[in-house]
Structure 1
Amino acid sequence: MHQHVQRRPRRTVRRTALRTVATGLAVGLLGTTATALPATARPPSVTAPASAADCRLPAAVDGLGSGFPVDEQGLPAVGTLKAAQLFVDFEDHPAPAGSLDEAEANLASGVEYLEQVSGGRLDVETTASDGWVRMPEPSTAYPFERGLTYEDHVRYIGDAIAAADATFDFSDVDVVWVSATKQAQNITYSPTTNYLDVTADGNHLTHAVTFGYDQWRWGGLVLAHETGHSLGLPDLYLFEAPPEDPGNWHAAVGGWDLMGLISGQGPEYLGWHRWQLGWLDDEQVVCAEPGRTTTARLSPVAESGEPRPGRDTMLVHPVSATRAVVVENRQPLGYDQGIAARGALVYTVDASVPSGHGPVRVVDSTPGSSDGLDDAPFAPGTSWTEPTTGAELTFREGPAGTVAVALNP
């Protein structure tokens, strides 16, 4: 049955980006220290890098991928994202009195994540339902298990919107977030749709995320992960584990990006993703020119929202029309405070590979170690040779937490 609630003013919550994220996690150091590069301009023998535009891999898949531009289904990632946050319960699982504050607080850190990682370029304006919204059917009427159909998902979202519509104004909403009461454990997980087709208050709503019981395990990071899909980012975990490593759905990137392992120790968005979303400027990207030596002094990716003159965020080495090697600097800062190893994170991006099939793959500096990809970054004084082009990347320690990278063709 429907719950009848008196009309009340909308509660609008605006949060500005946090500048620091404090944790008490210990951080392991990887490798030894090598002689730092001098803090000067690139040597005269080094040719200036190509334009960053030359390294923008063009999108080569239908749907979510790692090319430019992001798929047209993605919402704008710069500016204000207006989210309707509906908290729903059911006749078979009513929300306990006083539980709304806990439900709202559980996801709030996801908004903080998006605003901080975007460097303040994305402002998330959340308008929450003023009370629990009773769904028209019991929770068991919505088959939330792996394999939930699009039709069932859209019906669930549509029922939530219809139940809230009498007391909620949807006329200026970009994305709908539907969060189920903790009591409804059979609403198990948190899928996203970018193809909602519901009209409310004259607004054609196209994007929605539903938060199930797993939100109580992941907290706000599940909101940031799923909103990443709303903005056009792919899944970096594997839909099918590799035959040689059955059960390892995180063999591609491990915990080095929130779009992979949500509980990973390095959940900062990759620099490549920030670039895709417009959170990283072309001036922060060093694009290697074919056949020429290229160097870069990389600031930690967690500090990319505050670019500094003379420092870069990524070095990109295209190896084909759809594939590139990327180097970025990961240090125990921001949301990376829990990483086990610091240094130069090297990964490949393939714009022809779709979501869930490994569009990004981290290069492991210590293959076969018991830590998997957790110790993947390259330490100062080490090097790596790209197998298809023979280009050699060497890594040295730079000043003030930077990593100096040289690419020799």
Structure 2
Amino acid sequence: MNQRAVRKSLALSLAAIAASALALGAVPAGAAAAPPPSAVAAPPSSDACRLPAAVGGLGSGFPVDEQALPAVGTLKAALLLVDFEDHPASPASAAEAEANLAPGVEYLERVSGGRLEVTTTTSDGWVRMPEPSTSYPFERGLSYEDHVRYIGDAIAAADDTFDFSDVDVVWVTATKEAPNITYSPTTNFLDVTADGNHLTHAVTFGYDQWRWGGLVLAHESGHTLGLPDLYLFEAPPEDPGNYHAAVGGWDLMGLISGAGPEYLAWHRWQLGWLDDAQVVCARGDRTTSARLAPVALSADAGPGQAAMVVHPLSATRAVVVENRQPVGYDEAIEARGALVYTVDTSVPSGEGPVRVVDATPGSPDGLDDAPFAAGSSWTEPTTGAELTFRAGPGNTLKVTVQP
């Protein structure tokens, strides 16, 4: 049925109801009859804001890539500590390596609101790799083939004493004595079988783990769960060298050392760490308001508190507003308020699928002071919708979207 027919049918139905009510004396002459319940517009479902995935692999759409590990339930990790004949590790350093990565496990469990439990089984001390560290060309630009060879060697070296039969993801951490194992890449396309288990996901932790600590584990685990990189693989021509021009330090999938490494509310929703009821989907034909809890506290938000407001722009784009306050992993942020960003599910990982709107463009702090302070507003340039932000009780933030 076309829209004109729908309007005509609805008008006839309302007229009939009003006439019946007048005949019964229920509605005084000249008074407008109340529409039936079916004619009252219901709040829009969050489904209208659940942007579909429009790229293969890691992305920002729904659902996450089919290769991703489940983000709800129990994630079983094998932590293999490896050293080399040219860089042997001292036995006592095993505890230090475990302790360095442990905060990453705590991060995942805390940010998920307890919906993800990570169990870690560690190798019994250091496992000697079959080749010297120099045979794995991390410093020269690691290929996929070299990466999976490195992981496969670690699994084979540990297999005699380690049970891989019930493992979801393999974490391989190199001794601190091998600085040429430089960085920490992830693969979701491992193809190794051990103890009858087909292993598909692995992260290898290099020397950079000693700079980032456990947050590097949480970042790389984000990839195994399907999240994209939010830093830029290529810096913008107008801002050479700024690989964090899209998101800055407002999400762990961007700048790991940023002041606000909480996962964005959008990412939490993607992973199933937020319920649909915590997402307010703005209508295009009427004003929408919501009271937002700080993102860091969204798992324990009180009654009537949402985690984000989503204003759809197209089939693959939306504006998202969330509340960032100096609590949880955001405790070091200096600017607080409404973090506004666009999500585009047609943009691949590393090319800016998420871009933060800067409330103070041109400031020397870059995106560190991007949030809109309570009492301010912003007009979305393509739809003309006005978004206003007001302070609420207990660090909450009232967001209103006026089409």
Same fold (TM over 0.5): yes
**What pairs with 1:22-37 in structure 2 (closer than 5 Å)?**
none
2:117 equivalent among 106, 123, 130: 123
SS for the counterpart of 1:216 is helix
1-side partners of 2:336 and 2:127: how far apart? 45
The separation in 2 between residues aligned to 1:158 and 1:330, in whole angstroms, is: 41
Distance in 2 (CA, whole Å) between partners of 1:365 and 1:396 is 15
> Identity of counterpart residues, as a percentage?
82
1:75 pairs with 2:69: yes
Q: CA deviation at 1:145?
A: 2.7
| Structure 1 residue 367 corresponds to structure 2 residue 368 | no
**Using the alignment, how far apart are the partners of 1:78 and 1:304 within structure 2?**
16
Q: Provide structure 2 residue ranges, at least 5 long, that are not aligned to the other structure.
A: 1-39
Distance 2:139 2:45 in 1: 47
2:250 is matched with 256
Aligned to 1:184: 178
Aligned counterparts of 2:389 and 2:91: Cα–Cα separation in 1? 57
> Which residue in the other structure is 2:45 paired with?
51
Q: For the Cα contact (< 8 Å) 1:48–1:294, is it kept in 2?
A: no
Correspondence 1:357 to 2:351: yes
1:292 deviates by: 1.1
Aligned partner of 1:278 among 272, 280, 284: 272
Letter in 1 for 2:268: R
1:324-335, aligned counterparts within 5 Å? 324-335=318-329
Structure 1 residues 143-152 or 153-162, which shifts more?
143-152
Counterpart residue identity of residue 153, structure 2: D
Unpaired stretches in structure 1, ≥5 consecutive residues = 1-45
Match for residue 267 of structure 1?
261
Cross-structure match for 1:6: none
Q: Are 1:394 and 2:385 matched, yes or no? A: no
CA deviation string 1:151-170 (max 9, x = no partner): 00000000000000000000
Q: Tell me if structure 1 keeps the 8 A contact 2:91–2:126.
A: no
Amino acid at match of 2:291: R
What corresponds to 2:190 in structure 1? 196
| DSSP 3-state at the match of 1:88 | strand
Paired residues for 1:297-316 under 5 Å = 297-316=291-310
What amino acid is aligned across from residue 89 of structure 1 in structure 2? Answer: D
Of 236, 241, 264, the match for 1:242: 236
Alpha-carbon distance, 1:146 to partner: 5.9
Structure 1 residue 216 and structure 2 residue 219: aligned?
A: no
SS of aligned partner of 2:300: coil
Q: Which amino acid aligns with 1:395?
A: F
Alignment partner of 1:99 is 2:99? no
Spell out, residue by residue over 1:216-253, the C-alpha distance to the aligned partner (whole angstroms, 9 max, x if none): 00000000000000000000000000000000000000
- 1:196-235 Cα distance to aligned partner (Å, 9 max, x none): 0000000000000000000000000000000000000000
Task: For 1:275, give the aligned amino acid.
Answer: W
1:49 deviation in Å? 3.4
The answer to whether the 8 A contact 1:287-1:317 is kept is yes
| Deviation of the 1:307 alpha carbon | 2.9
- Check if 1:227 corresponds to 2:221: yes
Letter of the structure 1 residue corresponding to residue 72 of structure 2: V
Q: What letter corresponds to residue 167 of structure 2 in structure 1? A: V
Higher share of residues assigned helix? 2
Match of 1:134 among 116, 128, 134: 128
Q: CA deviation at 1:308?
A: 1.8
Measure, in 1, the Cα distance between the counterparts of 2:127 and 2:374. 55
Distance in 2 (CA, whole Å) between partners of 1:342 and 1:106 is 30
Secondary structure of 2:103 counterpart = helix
1:337, 1:162 → 2: CA distance?
42
Which secondary structure does the structure 2 equivalent of 1:304 belong to? helix
Partner secondary structure for residue 163 of structure 1: helix
Q: Deviations over 1:291-316 (max 9, x none)?
A: 21100100000011113211111000
> Following superposition, which runs of at least 4 residues in structure 1 exceed 2 angstroms of deviation?
46-49
* Larger relative contact order (CA 8 Å, sep ≥ 6): 1
Using the alignment, how far apart are the partners of 1:191 and 1:87 within structure 2?
A: 16
User: Is the contact between residue 249 and residue 255 of structure 2 (CA under 8 Å) also seen in structure 1?
Assistant: yes
Paired letter, 1:362: V
8 Å CA contact 2:293, 2:323 repeated in 1: yes
Contact 2:313 2:383 in 1 (8 A): yes
**1:333 partner amino acid:** V
- Amino acid corresponding to residue 249 of structure 1 in structure 2: Y
Given residue 168 of structure 1, which amino acid in structure 2 is its aligned partner?
F
Aligned to 1:294: 288
Mapped partners of 1:181, 1:369: distance in 2: 41
Structural RMSD (CA): 1.0
**What SS is found at the alignment partner of 1:374?**
helix
Task: Describe the SS at the equivalent of 1:140.
Answer: helix
Contact 1:49–1:294 (CA under 8 A) maintained in structure 2 = no
